[in-house]
Structure 1
Amino acid sequence: MSDEQQKSAYGLGRAARLNLAHEILNELAETGRPLDRILSGRFRHLQDQLERRDRRDLETRVRSVLLHYRRLLWWLKQVKLAPNMRTMLLADMILNAKADIDQLQKLCTGAHNRMDMMRKEEIAALKGLIGKEINAPDMSEAIQCECPDWAEAGFKQAFGDKFGDEMTALNSKATSDFRINTLHGDVQTVQDSLAAQGFKTEPCALSPIGLRQTESGGPILSETEAFRQGWIEVQDEGSQLVALMVGAKKGMQVADFCAGAGGKTLALAADMENGGHLVACDVHSKRLQRAKTRLKRAGIVNAQRIVLENTYDKWVKKSKGKFDRVLIDAPCSGTGTWRRNPDSKWSKDENDLKELIALQADILKSANRLVKSGGRLVYATCSLLPEENEQQIDAFLKEYPHFKRLNAKTVWEERIPAPYPGQSEDFLRLTPHQHGCDGFFACMLERD
């Protein structure tokens, strides 16, 4: 493809952006890769052709389909049109972007880098959506709230009559939160530095080390002095709070057992003032490799990365009883992060949930061996389902009675000045509806 063709395809045209949105949705359906990785790959490949406006429009268009996924399926069934990414995108244009058939036909001409022409049966069916709203009285509550079948029972068990409110919040726009690297500065200093470059923030409501972006536009975070110097990290407020609840301190031996790309590892290192010994473990070497870059930029020197062959890696047995704090940020369904990752709710089912629950139990069974006498084990997920949280802990405590549950409110007050926001003192649960951050669960256990 020539430069001229690329510019005409991706530089300005609404029709080309719609076609690209269709390609992204198809790639999502065919590969199962996370949406954010697909978007970043496309944007990187087309960086010379896409303006910021184009990127914003593309992401909005794709996310709109995913945020209204179950309702779009319902409407397509009503008008008897086979569901696929093309028909869902066109239906979303009518129901949410308020496009009409003539506009869609002009966008779908089959020309270079445009969607194929609309078929007669598509036109006839989609006319039935003109003038309709995305919500319909005949829809069930779960459909209106975009809750997949496999998660509905768990959410209703957890939230009862607040089910609708919680699900609506999980369909809302995610916040942009940042954690201050306290090794290099405080909240006010970093906020002032960002403001001087036109990046507007305010202190987070609960996290004493968090900032939240208040205005879109301005510079990209990675272009700010604060980011380049390692003073700030992208991290949701809820994730910051979970890391603080670990209670890591200077001189301790601390293990981040499912460290991934190191988000909470960085927070733990700052709590430890770069002292003691911090081990970041994971079975995914590529994720830990990304953590290496982040640790270097943040100026972390007390962290060691260990790639585990499996959950029961021999390193765990060798390190039995050595750690003051062990954080298990367990692999989970990610239901608490649906507002950031709306694609994830449609890429899982009941079998995936069962496999995750079994994996979490295995991780607890292995990682608890690392905790020394009097040490703490912190089990956390970004899920809001009881099967992955309270029920997981109850089962663990029955099998391992030498651990006891700590009072979550007491642990919170040891580290965080804001009033305790939880409804239960057995564990901390954070939700977008109640706390304005991603959904998280954390339970603090102590070895007798």
Structure 2
Amino acid sequence: MTSRDAKTYEEAVEIVLRTLVKAERIKPTQYARRLVMKEMNPSREARSVSAGLLYSVLQKRGLLDEVIEDVLEITDDVTELDTWVRNAARIAVNEVVFEDGDPDEVADVLHGLVRRLANPGAAAIVKAFTLDLKDYEPPEPEDELDRLKWEYYHPRWLIERWMEMFGDPDEVVALLEANNRRPPLTIRVNTLKVDPEELAERLQRKYRVTVEPGRFLDEILKIPEGLPIGEMPEWEEGLFVIQDEAAALASAVLNPKPGEVVVDLCAAPGGKTTHMAQLMGGEGKIVAIDVDEVRMERLREIAERMGVLDCIETHLMDGREAPEKLGREFADAVLVDPPCSADGTIPKNPERRWRITPDELERLPKFQYELLKAGAEMVKPGGRLLYSTCSMFPEEDEEVVRRFLDEHPEFELLEVKVGDQGFDMPEACRLFPHRHETCGFFIALMGRTG
């Protein structure tokens, strides 16, 4: 490794280490990374190297922790370690065990960083641990599921669930592979300020990147190389926001029109809210409801930057209380995109695979149904109700909608003619990373009879 390469690598490792530590307090991880970038102002080469390294660490996180627990003979889990030790050890395992890096070089880099950013004691632990990885060999797979777990970096239980859902091992492998591909940066163009073709040409010319059109929506652009978001005047001017095409489709399917009253029940941080305002030409009213104060503030910031704040009315509250506090049967359209397991976002949030638990799939559907029911109470006769999630699990999607329709005969499913059909629900829409090159997503559109 040349001295220049060594300097770039050390800078990249520092970006990743500081991001991992900061992300334990600030979510999501990519937002934490942007904050670190502003603090460090690293070289372009280091930014590029760090992006790949961070993605690699996040996608293997559960396996990295297994190795740490095994080598250090931890009886509980890695959370008992100091935060700097824990995250430096994750980088060490990724580099030495999975990427065949030189243990001595990795140990020296991490030792120097932890000594400077934390303390000498933590640095000594990290160096000794990294050198101990020289002789580590991952365990032999016990069966096919175990092999897939270690080869594709996914929890065993999650692979097993997808096997049950799809019924085809080859399709599950295709999904695992898609989850491990770093997706392009996907942006939604603010058509109230600029034409998509005009912005695409500007980005290509100014930043020397490849810009590809979206698959389903004209306002979506994809940039494989990514963009220096925090440094871009186009971002500050509100010419675009970061949003996956599947998420943007939810707003497009609901199709809010100028002059309508629309409710976004789980609105923050504002991707769908601002998209609907854009589709409405800034005319009408969007009632944006969310329980998270920090994320709601981000919604206001995004809306102001995009020039649509004047048509958005924000309410900080539990969405389930909205009908009682704001009224019933007043909205032309209501969008309900509740908290979910978010397994569909694994391609862009690689650590999500290790955060999902089977308990979530038992707990969340009740909460999701309650939010859908509350949203329905605000739809006036003849209005529209859209339910969407970034989950691929039927219990969060079709089963929630089916229960709702059984108990609310005044609503009926309307056909969504995009993507694949829902599981045993042909009117609904499903998108998958391995089939549509988007996040995994579910959309069901319902109409209320007059």
Q: Per the shorter chain, which TM-score range? A: 0.7 to 0.9
How do residues 323-362 of structure 1 correspond to structure 2 at under 5 angstroms?
323-362=331-370
Tell me by how many angstroms 1:93 deviates.
0.8
Query: 1:441 maps to what in 2?
Result: 442
Q: Say whether 1:53 aligns with 2:55.
A: no
Separation in structure 2 between the aligned mates of residue 372 and residue 318 of structure 1, nearest angstrom: 13
Q: Say whether 1:113 aligns with 2:123.
A: no
Structure possessing the higher relative contact order (Cα contacts under 8 Å, 6 or more residues apart): 1
Q: Say whether 1:368 aligns with 2:370.
A: no
Counterpart residue type for residue 35 of structure 2:
G
Query: 1:62 maps to what in 2?
Result: 54
SS of aligned partner of 2:380:
strand
Per-residue displacement from partner, 1:38-61 (whole Å, max 9, x unpaired)?
3233333333xx323333433433
Separation in structure 1 between the aligned mates of residue 275 and residue 111 of structure 2, nearest angstrom: 51
Per-residue displacement from partner, 1:49-86 (whole Å, max 9, x unpaired)?
x3233334334333312212344456667878657434
Query: 2:33 maps to what in 1?
Result: 39
Query: 2:317 maps to what in 1?
Result: 309
Query: 1:146 maps to what in 2?
Result: 153
Separation in structure 2 between the aligned mates of residue 371 and residue 406 of structure 1, nearest angstrom: 15
- C-alpha change, 1:373 and 1:153, in structure 2 (3 Å) is farther
Q: Could you tell me which of 93, 101, 104 is aligned with 1:102?
A: 104
Separation in structure 2 between the aligned mates of residue 361 and residue 26 of structure 1, nearest angstrom: 35
Identity of aligned residues (%): 25
Q: Could you tell me which of 89, 92, 96 is aligned with 1:90?
A: 92
Q: Could you tell me which of 298, 307, 329 is aligned with 2:306?
A: 298
Tell me by how many angstroms 1:259 deviates.
0.8
Q: Could you tell me which of 246, 269, 283 is aligned with 1:261?
A: 269
Counterpart residue type for residue 267 of structure 2:
A
Where structure 2 has 5 or more consecutive residues not aligned to the other structure, the ranges are 1-5, 79-85, 118-122
SS of aligned partner of 1:408:
coil
Q: Report the aligned-residue RMSD.
A: 3.2
Where structure 1 has 5 or more consecutive residues not aligned to the other structure, the ranges are 1-10, 410-419
Checking the alignment, whether the CA contact within 8 Å between 2:246 and 2:441 is kept in structure 1 is yes
- C-alpha change, 1:109 and 1:212, in structure 2 (3 Å) is closer
Counterpart residue type for residue 41 of structure 1:
L
TM-score, reference length from structure 2:
0.82
How do residues 7-406 of structure 1 correspond to structure 2 at under 5 angstroms?
12=7, 14-15=9-10, 18=13, 21-22=16-17, 24-26=19-21, 28=23, 31=25, 33-47=27-41, 50-72=42-64, 82=74, 84=78, 85=86, 86-107=88-109, 109=111, 112-113=115-116, 115-116=123-124, 123-124=131-132, 126-129=134-137, 139-148=146-155, 151-161=158-168, 162-198=171-207, 199-216=209-226, 220-221=228-229, 223-224=231-232, 226-300=234-308, 303-313=311-321, 316=324, 318-406=326-414
Checking the alignment, whether the CA contact within 8 Å between 1:258 and 1:329 is kept in structure 2 is yes
Checking the alignment, whether the CA contact within 8 Å between 2:300 and 2:309 is kept in structure 1 is no
Q: When the two structures are aligned, how many residues end up with a matched partner?
A: 421
Checking the alignment, whether the CA contact within 8 Å between 2:111 and 2:127 is kept in structure 1 is no
- C-alpha change, 1:365 and 1:154, in structure 2 (3 Å) is farther
TM-score, reference length from structure 1:
0.82
Separation in structure 2 between the aligned mates of residue 282 and residue 276 of structure 1, nearest angstrom: 20
Checking the alignment, whether the CA contact within 8 Å between 1:19 and 1:113 is kept in structure 2 is no
SS of aligned partner of 2:403:
helix
Tell me by how many angstroms 1:335 deviates.
0.9
Query: 1:407 maps to what in 2?
Result: 415
- C-alpha change, 1:113 and 1:222, in structure 2 (3 Å) is closer
Checking the alignment, whether the CA contact within 8 Å between 2:97 and 2:136 is kept in structure 1 is no
Checking the alignment, whether the CA contact within 8 Å between 2:103 and 2:133 is kept in structure 1 is no
With 228-237 and 396-405 compared, the bigger mean Cα shift is at 228-237
Tell me by how many angstroms 1:15 deviates.
4.7
Counterpart residue type for residue 333 of structure 2:
R
Checking the alignment, whether the CA contact within 8 Å between 1:284 and 1:307 is kept in structure 2 is no
Separation in structure 2 between the aligned mates of residue 15 and residue 51 of structure 1, nearest angstrom: 11
With 238-247 and 208-217 compared, the bigger mean Cα shift is at 208-217
- C-alpha change, 1:68 and 1:323, in structure 2 (3 Å) is same
- C-alpha change, 1:203 and 1:119, in structure 2 (3 Å) is closer
Tell me by how many angstroms 1:125 deviates.
5.0
SS of aligned partner of 2:427:
coil
Counterpart residue type for residue 368 of structure 1:
A
